[in-house]
């Protein structure tokens, strides 16, 4: 596993953490198209904990047919992104910054959990070809009833933007998976096939939601 080179690669968009803004669907970052999908995936505390572990070990992506290759994980003394934070009205209250060391965590079976700052290459088959999509994890959501992560795009990804995957537990015990993103084609080459990109995004959103259903 390489270290350093991928970690220094800049994200290809500026609104780091904006998938967590409450008004994303109404006021996305300028020039970006937002989408949001949500589905019930079970019930009860055990289902919630299991789904969280699945989400934080790349199983949403892998069960959706993607290959996941982790390229780089920051050392304990390296820094990670702290995304912009928002109040309940969606108003930014703290800018994005860099500075908090990563904390190593593993699932009960010892599988490393996704941590902020991790860089990975996602591989998928679309448009009759194999497409590689480099991303970096920019946020870990770790609340009592909401847990998950968000990643942002790196150079070489067909899109520019961010995507988040959050497992939620509602007061009645229902467990939901929420997928949010904002994006735009990353280059002129991809702008020519923008309708195909949007269609592929819709297909993948359905696969993401189905990935954790029925376990």
User: pLDDT (tens digit, 9 = 90+) per residue, 154-201?
Assistant: 998 888 899 999 999 999 999 999 999 998 887 676 666 666 767 777
Pairing of the two strands 146-153 and 129-142: antiparallel
- Residue 166: partners with Cβ closer than 8 Å, 6 or more residues away: 55, 141, 146, 147, 148, 177, 178, 179, 180
* Residue 151 and residue 137 in contact, taking contact as beta carbons nearer than 8 Å: yes
Identify the weakest region by mean pLDDT among 9-23, 78-92, 137-151.
Answer: 78-92
Pairing of the two strands 146-153 and 159-169: antiparallel
- Residue 98: partners with Cβ closer than 8 Å, 6 or more residues away: 79, 80, 81, 82
Q: Is the pLDDT score of 4 beyond 50?
A: no
In the chain, % of residues over pLDDT 90: 44
Output the pLDDT for position 90.
Answer: 55
Nearest C-alpha neighbor of 58 from the set 13, 107, 10:
107
Cα–Cα distance for residue pair 55/58, rounded to 1 Å: 6
């Amino acid at each position: 596993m390489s270290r350093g080179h991928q970690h220094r690669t800049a994200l290809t968009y500026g609104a780091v953490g904006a998938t967590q803004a409450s008004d994303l669907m109404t006021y996305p970052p300028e020039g970006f198209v937002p989408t949001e999908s949500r589905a019930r995936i079970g019930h009860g505390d055990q289902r919630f904990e299991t789904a969280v572990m699945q989400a934080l070990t790349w199983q949403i992506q892998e069960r959706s047919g993607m290959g996941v290759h982790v390229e780089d994980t920051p050392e304990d003394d390296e820094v990670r992104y702290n995304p912009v934070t928002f109040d309940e009205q969606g108003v930014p209250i703290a800018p994005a910054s860099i500075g908090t060391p990563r904390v190593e965590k593993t699932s009960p079976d010892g599988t490393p959990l996704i941590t902020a700052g991790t860089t990975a290459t996602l591989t998928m088959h679309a448009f009759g070809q194999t497409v590689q999509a480099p991303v970096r994890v920019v946020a870990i959501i770790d609340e009592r009833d909401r847990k998950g992560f968000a990643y942002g795009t790196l150079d070489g990804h067909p899109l520019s933007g961010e995507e988040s995957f959050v497992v939620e537990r509602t007061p009645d015990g229902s467990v939901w998976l929420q997928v949010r993103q904002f994006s735009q084609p990353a280059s002129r080459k991809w702008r020519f096939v923008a309708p195909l990109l949007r269609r592929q995004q819709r297909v993948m959103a359905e696969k993401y939601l189905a990935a954790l259903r029925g376990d």
